[in-house]
Chains A and B, each alone.
Chain A
Amino acid sequence: MLGLTKKDLQLMLIVTGLTMLAPFILNPFPESSGMAQFNAGYPDLMQRFVIFGIFAIGFNLLFGLTGYLSFGHAAFLGVGSYGAIWMMKLVSLNVIPAIFMGVIVAGIFSVAVGYICLRRSGIYFSILTLAIAQMSYALAYSVLTPITGGETGLQIKSTDRPLLSNLAEGETGRANLFGMDMRQSFELSIGDWLFTFNVGYYIAAVVMLIAFYVSIRIFRSPFGLMLRAIKSNQTRMSYTGLNPRPHTLAAFVISGMYAGLAGGLLVAMDTQVGPERMFWTASGEVVLMTILGGVGTLIGPVLGAGVIKYMENILSKINKDVLHEWFAFMPDGLEDFIVFLVYPFIGKGWHLTLGILFMLVVIFLPGGLVEGGQRIGKWIKNRRTAKDTGASTEPAE
């Protein structure tokens, strides 16, 4: 079905199920319980899960397949965002043209950047992309203020009168899809549980599913094979009559368009953009997501994006009082000691946890969480077969 093998189809269905049921899955704890703060099923965060998932999927198409490590990918996300918000400000508040605009602008920009950066490879490529992204950030921050709004960025204002809209005088436009407001939510209350179904989230989720599907197809295509060949051995590639340059450029542009898509979606959800979206730390973040989840795997980047956004939003909210509450059952001295030990890793210190986790993954688990999962799976399987054979040989003895 869908031109996928059975295994890929299974993966696709699992991901579809998870994203569609996310409002349930991410809200496992009752509202009144102490664990409610671990609930991630609110619209803003769920939107971020899928949008950064798209960003990471796109990054993985470049880094995972060709091995070219771009350290400036946030530039495409930012450019896509700017393109999208101008579309909303000037033409239509419907999110579809805005998202399209984001993809197109990012695509054009990545053709130019890719043309320059792909003349070099290895560490030079990383530094070139980093330099260009930092330059774009500086341009957006200061030089291009008339287009980018400088430091404060761009928002949809009450004075904006898009061509294809009939707003009342002084009314601030809202992003919509054929009249459906992105912020509209339907809340379902079952007992002590509260589930939120948000229009924006479901639109972003559908887009992510399409993006995920396309990425599976690219992975399994002749083109994907060529990209993996580039990563593996460029010499053999050239001496097999294949030109690596257009292949890498195509991968770079596709990857840039994924970033633009993510940027456009971000604007569709919160109708604002600032230059910090292009800062190099944002580029670093997508690298972290992809590596953490599992570079070169299909599901890894989505997983990594989820873990990091969850940590950013949930782990960072835990403070000392919450910790004391948790460990209240311990004797006082021990409680203080444990809180003292744990405290640096949570709240504002969540970056520390992230950094350590990332290092551990790079050192011990180059395949990321996906490889971790596979290893655990194999270990369990081996134990089980060992037990089975053990049981069957026992009587013989």
Chain B
Amino acid sequence: MEAIILQILNGLDKGSAYALIALGLTLIFGTLGVVNFAHGALFMIGAFCAVTFSRILTLSHTIIDETQTDFLGNPLKVDVPYLYDLFGQATGDAIIDWAVPLSILFTVPVMMFVGYAMERGLIKHFYNRPHADQILVTFGLAIVLQEVIKYFYGANPIPTPAPQAFAGSLDFGALLGFDPNLIIYPYWRIIYFVFSAVIIGAVFAFLQYTTFGMVVRAGMADRETVGLLGINIDKRFTIMFGLAAAVAGLAGVMYTPINSPNYHMGMDFLVLSFVVVVVGGMGSLPGAVLAGFLLGILESFASMREVLEILPGLNQIIIYLVAIIILLTRPRGLMGRKGVMED
């Protein structure tokens, strides 16, 4: 029982990331009909927004501190972040400590802009070209974005810690009445899951309850008809692309404390997220979310020692295996709609 709860919990954070990326992919596919291979890159750029933001916060100038001396007795040179000058040392430290959550404020506009630029600058010209061309050009874009990030930030992962307040773990088992220390779960992962749930809820509420969302949903169902109604659907779709980029970016920002960002993390997640979208059903938003969590949890179960003893390596292949079986038995995916990309 404890083991099962633990594995479900472990699957949640990866599942959250899959779900958020797959949600954006599906939004773009459903509204614009474009298969975006560069979506993983958006996730990665989001993560590097967090890195950039914390670097901006720690921008420093050097002063000579007369009170401290090195072993030769000379006054010590100290780097002082500009934040200290602005807010004083205590507040400054607190802000730097909270760099990751704070960078959300920085990431959203940046990602919106990146998404907007991507759609207007490139994707727009590919609406009427074959899917293969869309795959190819976004694949090329993904390589370029990845290499640009690599050029500026280097090839090594950059550790980006969570605020001190969330550094520990929660003894989840004790809460449920199990023995202590059986089910422990890092605070940050709880935050990540809750955060994802909020974002997913917000996206769904946005699509469900706003006029804008209604038009977009109608557009997903039948693009031509909505266009005939005289609604400027292209403009709305551009905004939708920006939104999907922001969702991917946020998923990336908050993921940094779990996994130090590197330039190829986008591609690593993208391949799996595609599988998630296909399993959930091309063009189905609830399907994407459901499949994201489902596959995240399945992957985590497959990594249990008991399972690996019987079927070694299952954790590496489980997602692909499930995807192949689903595609062959339920070509539309778990929740796909009839008529959407069935062949």
Chain A residues close to B by CB (< 8 Å): 63, 67, 69, 71, 116, 119-124, 126-128, 130-132, 134-135, 138-139, 141-143, 280-281, 284, 287, 291, 344, 348-349, 351-352, 354-356, 358-359, 362-363, 366
Contacts and interface: CB of A to CB of B under 8 A. Distances in A.
A352 B146 CA distance: 8
B125 interface: yes
Given A124-B331, A355-B144, A359-B141, A139 B151 contact: no
Contacts of B167: none
- Those 6 A-B pairs whose CB atoms lie nearest each other, nearest first: A143-B313, A355-B143, A138-B316, A352-B147, A359-B140, A355-B144
Nearest to B152: A344
A127 B278 contact: yes
B136 A131 contact: no
Contact of A116 (B136, B150, B324, B343): B324
Main SS class of interface, B: helix
Contacts of B313: 138-139, 142-143
Contacts of A130: 271, 274
B63 interface: no
Contacts of B275: 127, 131
B317 A135 contact: yes
Interface stretch (B127-135, B209-217, B234-242): B127-135
B312 A366 contact: no
A134 B320 contact: yes
A345 B291 CA distance: 39
27 contacts: A67-B132, A119-B331, A120-B331, A121-B343, A123-B135, A123-B282, A123-B341, A124-B331, A126-B135, A127-B275, A130-B274, A131-B320, A132-B320, A132-B324, A134-B320, A138-B317, A139-B317, A142-B312, A143-B317, A284-B139, A287-B136, A349-B150, A351-B146, A352-B144, A352-B147, A358-B140, A363-B125
Interface string B147-159: 1101100010000
Interface residues of B, number: 41
A124 B278 contact: yes
A131 B275 CA distance: 7
Interface of B: 35, 122, 125, 130-133, 135-137, 139-141, 143-144, 146-148, 150-151, 155, 267, 271, 274-275, 278, 282, 312-314, 316-317, 320-321, 323-324, 327-328, 331, 341, 343
B137 A362 contact: yes
A366 B35 contact: no
A150 B231 CA distance: 56
A366 B133 contact: yes
Contacts of A143: 312-314, 316-317
Q: Which residue, of A141, A281, A363, has the highest number of chain B Cβ atoms within 10 A?
A: A363
A287 to B, nearest CB: 7
Contact of A356 (B144, B331, B341): B144
A124 B279 CA distance: 11
B303 to A, nearest CB: 12
B58 to A, nearest CB: 25
Contacts of A135: 317, 320-321, 324
A122 B151 contact: no
Given A124-B278, A355-B143, A355-B144, A363 B137 contact: yes
Nearest to A234: B343
B175 to A, nearest CB: 35
A146 B89 CA distance: 58
